[in-house]
Amino acid sequence: MSEGKLIVITGPSGVGKGTLVRSLLQKYPDLYFSISATTRSPREGEIHGKDYFFLSIEEFKQKIEGGEFLEWAQYASNYYGTPRQNIETQINQGKTVILEIEVIGANLIKESFPSALRIFILPPSLEELEKRLKERNTDTEAVIIKRLNRAKEELMFRDQFDVKIVNDDLEIAFELLEKAIFK
């Protein structure tokens, strides 16, 4: 059996990467989506083991020390990390694995997993990103400001990625994503 591949999808919060990934998983059920761990509190409707593994800071730090993450990063005062074990198992079984993570962790993947395809989703503009974060209605004003400031830093890394896709029109962005993954 041939080895699977690792696809890393990143971009600022609110850019629509979650929507793109959901469409991808719906259309291609054979893809394996990696569920991350986080110390952030669950949002309404989020389920432990489905959306994230919600951990305490102590539990998360233990896993860092145990080398259990392929990558991890701090984001808007919380920790987020990709559990290593499932990913390696799935890839060895020939599966294509999808990670949806923030930019610093996505950039680090090239060290632990050089063959990964790393895709950066860009907003049409910062103004549009702010509008989407506000419309999404999942975060407080203070958190939105943190996320926007972080977005400005994240956008500076865009040229270090293999593929860049502007999410202006969702359908076009999805087609470009499909092409990048299945070309």
For residue 52, what is the DSSP state?
B
Q: Is 84 in the site for ligand 5GP (CB under 6 A)?
A: no
Q: Is 13 in the site for ligand 5GP (CB under 6 A)?
A: yes
Q: Is 71 in the site for ligand 5GP (CB under 6 A)?
A: yes
Residues of span 117-176 touching ligand 5GP by CB under 6 A: none
Closer of 129 and 176 to ligand 5GP (Cβ):
129
Q: Is 116 in the site for ligand 5GP (CB under 6 A)?
A: no
Kindly state the smallest distance separating residue 114's Cβ from ligand 5GP, in Å.
Answer: 18
Q: Is 8 in the site for ligand 5GP (CB under 6 A)?
A: no
**Own/partner pairs for 73-79, CB < 8 Å, 24+ apart?**
73/101, 73/102, 73/104, 73/105, 73/108, 75/102, 75/150, 76/13, 76/40, 76/143, 76/146, 76/147, 76/150, 77/146, 78/38, 78/39, 78/40, 79/37, 79/38, 79/39
- Which one of the spans 76-84, 117-125, 158-166, 174-182 is the region binding ligand 5GP (CB under 6 A)? 76-84
- Which one of the spans 25-33, 97-105, 116-124, 162-170 is the region binding ligand 5GP (CB under 6 A)? 97-105
Q: Which two tokens stand for residue 165?
A: 């896709």
Q: Is 36 in the site for ligand 5GP (CB under 6 A)?
A: yes
Q: Name the CA dihedral angle for 128, 130, 133, 137, rounded to a multiple of 10 degrees.
A: -110
Give me the phi and psi of 117, to 5 degrees please: -95, 120
Instruction: Name the site residues for ligand 5GP (rule: CB under 6 A).
Output: 13, 36, 40, 71, 73, 75, 80-82, 100-102, 105
